[in-house]
């Protein structure tokens, strides 16, 4: 019941009783009612209910962004417009009285430089070297403690080195190869900073598998997985060598991507004692062929050897591999190289067919019966040539020679994974 009703009921009660003071009391009650109504209105207006002002609108002055310029100061090293900048150690973006929120560094072709924030967002540095002779653009934004942004734009150009090195690699871009093919790169000048050079070369496989590099001396670097590549694997190599200091004052110039595909997994096992070769493809035996290998005075290397070259017909001269004038055959058919030192698996037309599978009579190569002139002539030599690709593996066992050295050809498979990945 409200106050007006109370006052009205009291007036009615006094009138019934005939109290002569009714008018006086009534007047006082009306005044009381008016006073109470005014008080209620005043309380409601002063915030007892719905509220008013900034809070009534659901806003707070504290949520409004601060006005005025940002206190954050962005700096870029090297300075804007600099030329002849070194490719490592000079690029740095920093923020004073604030934190960096965005840093973009890219070359004139739009290729971005990867980097990372450090020191709580106060500093950004690139995670890799820069390319030589390249113009870069830097755009950075930082915010102060009040959320006010400050930006910086700058450009600079890296130096063009006078002394350079390049790498010659196999396989080539777009090649389809066998499962034993490593990515091998030979540099035209010695590399002293091997860690920096190796870091600049990325090798990725699909399906994914760990790939590691191994140095043979200071001019050759090979990459391979622990086991042979799986059939159908797609390999992508990123050569980011431009601007890498390989040796004191000598810089790389290459910047390219190389892609190759693994066609299948073919391994042919030569048993020098049995004088046979068994060809297995993707785990299935497809053919056994009689062979001849190195004679007792010149046995064939044992070990896993990768086919690195294929020649329909080629010349083989003993003078080139330390055998003097013992032989000079100008038309060796279906020849495939297995080592740098001169080991081949090839067709042989100068031995009687009956000797294959019976006699080891070569100077260290693996021979298959063949006909002169090469071509698809139906011989074992022709069949194996047509059914082999660069990157296939030929493994020799039970020979009287030593195991071939891992760097004699593309033959790093003769090194354990532990040794391959050990720091050199």
Pairs from 294-299 (Cβ < 8 Å, separation ≥ 24): 294/360, 294/362, 294/363, 294/364, 294/365, 294/399, 294/401, 295/360, 295/361, 295/362, 295/363, 296/360, 296/400, 298/323, 298/362, 298/363, 298/364, 299/272, 299/360, 299/364, 299/399, 299/400, 299/401
Per residue in 94-118, pLDDT (tens digit) is 999 999 999 999 999 999 999 999 9
| Number of Cβ within a 10 Å radius of residue 293 | 28
User: What angle do helix axes 22-43 and 3-17 make, rounded to 10 degrees?
Assistant: 180
Q: What pLDDT, on a 0 to 100 scale, did the predictor assign at position 109?
A: 94
Catalytic-residue membership of 346: yes
What class is the 266-414 domain? Answer: mainly beta
Catalytic-residue membership of 365: yes
Give 111's contacts (C-beta < 8 A, 6+ positions apart). none
* Cβ(345)–Cβ(368) below 8 Å: yes
What class is the 73-158 domain? Answer: mainly beta
Q: What pLDDT, on a 0 to 100 scale, did the predictor assign at position 300?
A: 97
The architecture that CATH gives domain 163-264 is Sandwich (2.60)
* Cβ(323)–Cβ(398) below 8 Å: no
Which residue out of 214, 334, 346, 363 is catalytically annotated? 346
Q: What pLDDT, on a 0 to 100 scale, did the predictor assign at position 27?
A: 44
**Residues of the chain predicted below pLDDT 70:** 1-65, 324-327, 424
Q: What pLDDT, on a 0 to 100 scale, did the predictor assign at position 28?
A: 43
Distance CA 189, CA 217 (A): 12
Distance CA 167, CA 164 (A): 11
Q: What pLDDT, on a 0 to 100 scale, did the predictor assign at position 7?
A: 43
Q: What pLDDT, on a 0 to 100 scale, did the predictor assign at position 330?
A: 92
Spatial strand order in the sheet of 266-271: 284-290, 276-281, 266-271, 393-397, 303-306
Q: What pLDDT, on a 0 to 100 scale, did the predictor assign at position 283?
A: 95
């Amino acid at each position: 019941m409200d106050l007006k009703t109370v006052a009205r009921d009291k007036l009615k009660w006094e009138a019934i009783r005939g109290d002569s003071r009714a008018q006086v009391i009534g007047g006082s009650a009306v005044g009381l009612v008016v006073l109470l109504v005014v008080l209620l209105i005043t309380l409601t207006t002063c915030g007892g209910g719905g509220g008013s002002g900034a809070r009534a609108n659901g806003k707070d002055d504290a949520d409004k962004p601060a006005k005025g310029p940002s206190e954050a100061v962005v700096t870029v090293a090297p300075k804007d417009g600099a030329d002849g900048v070194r490719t490592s150690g000079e690029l740095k973006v920093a923020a004073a009285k604030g934190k960096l929120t965005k840093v973009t560094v890219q070359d004139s072709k739009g290729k971005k430089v990867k980097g990372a924030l450090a020191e709580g967002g106060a500093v950004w540095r690139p995670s890799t070297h820069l390319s030589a002779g390249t113009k870069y653009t830097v755009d950075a934004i930082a915010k102060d403690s009040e959320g006010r942004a400050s930006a910086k734009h700058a450009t600079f150009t890296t130096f063009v080195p006078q002394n350079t090195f390049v790498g010659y690699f196999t396989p080539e871009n777009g090649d389809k190869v066998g499962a034993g093919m490593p990515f091998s790169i030979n540099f035209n000048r010695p590399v002293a900073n091997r860690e920096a050079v190796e870091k600049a070369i990325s090798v990725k496989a699909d399906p994914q598998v760990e790939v590691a590099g191994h140095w043979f001396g200071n001019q050759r670097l090979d990459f391979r997985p622990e086991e042979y590549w799986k059939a159908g694997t797609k390999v992508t190599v990123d050569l980011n060598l431009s601007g890498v200091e390989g040796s004191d004052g000598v810089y790389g110039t290459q910047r390219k991507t190389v892609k190759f595909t693994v066609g299948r997994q073919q391994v042919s096992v030569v048993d020098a004692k049995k004088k046979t070769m068994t060809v297995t493809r993707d785990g299935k035996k497809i053919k056994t062929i009689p062979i001849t290998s190195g004679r007792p005075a010149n046995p064939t290397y044992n070990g896993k050897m990768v086919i690195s070259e294929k020649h329909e017909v080629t010349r083989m001269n003993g003078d080139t591999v330390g055998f003097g004038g013992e032989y000079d055959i100008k038309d060796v058919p279906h020849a495939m190289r297995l080592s740098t030192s001169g080991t081949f698996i090839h067709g042989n037309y100068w031995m009687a067919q009956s000797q294959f599978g019976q006699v080891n009579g070569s100077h260290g190569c693996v021979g298959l019966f063949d006909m002169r002139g090469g071509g698809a002539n139906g011989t074992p030599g022709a069949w194996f040539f047509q059914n082999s690709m660069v990157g296939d593996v030929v493994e020799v066992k039970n020979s009287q020679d030593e195991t071939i050295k891992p760097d004699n050809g593309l033959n790093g498979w003769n090194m354990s994974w532990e040794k391959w990945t050990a720091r050199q």
